[in-house]
Structure 1
Amino acid sequence: MTASAMLGELLTLSMMAVALGMDAFSIGLGMGMISLRSKQIFIIGLTIGIFHVFMPLFGMLIGKVLSSHFGEIATLVGGALLLLLGGQMIRSSFQEDDKPFVMPVGFGLILFSLSVSLDSFSVGLSLGIVGARVFLTIALFGLASTGLTWLGLLLGQKVQKWFGTYSEAIGGCVLLAFGIKLLFPL
């Protein structure tokens, strides 16, 4: 492979990593509107980054076999999970209890990370077919999604201070919007 071809592949994969990470950023922005400690933000970003490593890796390994069938299902499941999480956040924002129904810890963090990274699984399926470099792909996807998630969560905290008690409902609306976007692409 020539140097220009390797540079082209690096540039293409980097743009894909940032594009996939922008979903994590946007969703992190919504989730950041609930009160989170710095340690939670660190763990959430790291967990989403790990999911953005393993989901495309699994997708790339499965590649040709399931690409045409499973890519669509993964997107639908991701959209449904985001709708569920967003709806729960909105519902809990109108309850007396200050604690949200779904917190990004334990099983809630797994659901959150899975919903954010399912699209990277679908991309991994496609990249497995074209023979993209596995290590380079998963490293770029993991780094971009981790960094962008942290940025979204931190900005979400700032926005939360501006909107006060309505911030969780706004964050839920953001998650709902991305769920709808996944389920009903234009």
Structure 2
Amino acid sequence: MGMFIGELVALSMMAFALGMDAFSVALGMGLFRLRFKQIFYIGVTIGVFHIVMPLLGIFAGRFLSHQFGGIASYIGGVLLLLLGMQMIVTSFKKESDSFVSPMGIGLIFFAFSVSLDSFSVGLSLGIYGARTLLTILLFGFVSMILTWTGLMLGRHFQQWLGAYSEALGGSILFVFGLKLLFSF
């Protein structure tokens, strides 16, 4: 029982750390003018990706070497850099239609990019034989809650920032991408 509680605490801390990544990026995305229904769907989508990606990582980790984990973080960093640059450039154009938005393909791109870290963590956990169901449910739930929190805070700040909100959101994503790329 004590070993289970220790594993639960460790996995909860990892879920929170991975969810903070989603929170940081959601804060930037929340600067879009989002309706509550969109915020709900974005949070659920991020939660689902934080279940699927570590699950894939756990399965892959049981078969692949531990060295593969670092590549996923680099891919995530590049994706966030591109997304951030696109948002910044779009904010300076007079056109109101943005290529990148937290809906449709933009949402899938967003969810995939913030869940790549959970894939690499899943690789490591797969190698060490962590409890799969407990891991993926914790990762999904915590990231969903933190994404909603980030989106709501971003939505609140968007009202203050007005026209500069998309540039700020892009800057947040860009800096987060740099963090992923240079954290190794």
2:103 maps to 105
Identity rate, percent: 61
Equivalent pairs, count: 184
Name the structure 2 match of 1:174.
172
SS in 2 for 1:65: coil
Could you tell me the TM-score, scaled by structure 1's length?
A: 0.96
Structure 2 CA distance, aligned partners of 1:116 and 1:67?
22
Amino acid aligned to 2:12: S
Relative to structure 2, which stretch is displaced further, 104-113 or 11-20? 104-113
Q: 1:164 aligns with which of 149, 162, 168?
A: 162
Cα pair distance change 1:168/1:22, threshold 3 Å? same
Question: Which residue pairs with 1:117 in the alignment?
Answer: 115
Partner residue of 1:32 out of 27, 30, 33 = 30
2:9 is aligned with 1:16: no
CA RMSD after TM alignment: 1.1
User: Following TM superposition, where does structure 1 have runs of at least 4 consecutive aligned residues deviating by more than 4 angstroms?
Assistant: none
What's the CA shift for 1:37? 1.1
2:145 to 140, 144, 147: 147
8 Å Cα contact 1:63/1:125 also seen in 2 = yes
- Residue type of the alignment partner of 1:176: F
Deviation sequence 1:98-154 (CA, Å, 0-9, x none): 232201111111110000000000000000111110000000000000000000000
Q: 1:150 to 1:99 in 2, by over 3 A?
A: same
Unaligned runs of 5+ in 1: none
Distance 1:15 1:185 in 2: 19
C-alpha separation between the residues in 2 aligned to 1:49 and 1:11? Answer: 19
TM-score, length-scaled by structure 2: 0.97
Label 1:81 to 1:7 Cα distance change in 2 as closer, same or farther (>3 A).
same
The answer to whether the 8 A contact 1:88-1:172 is kept is: yes
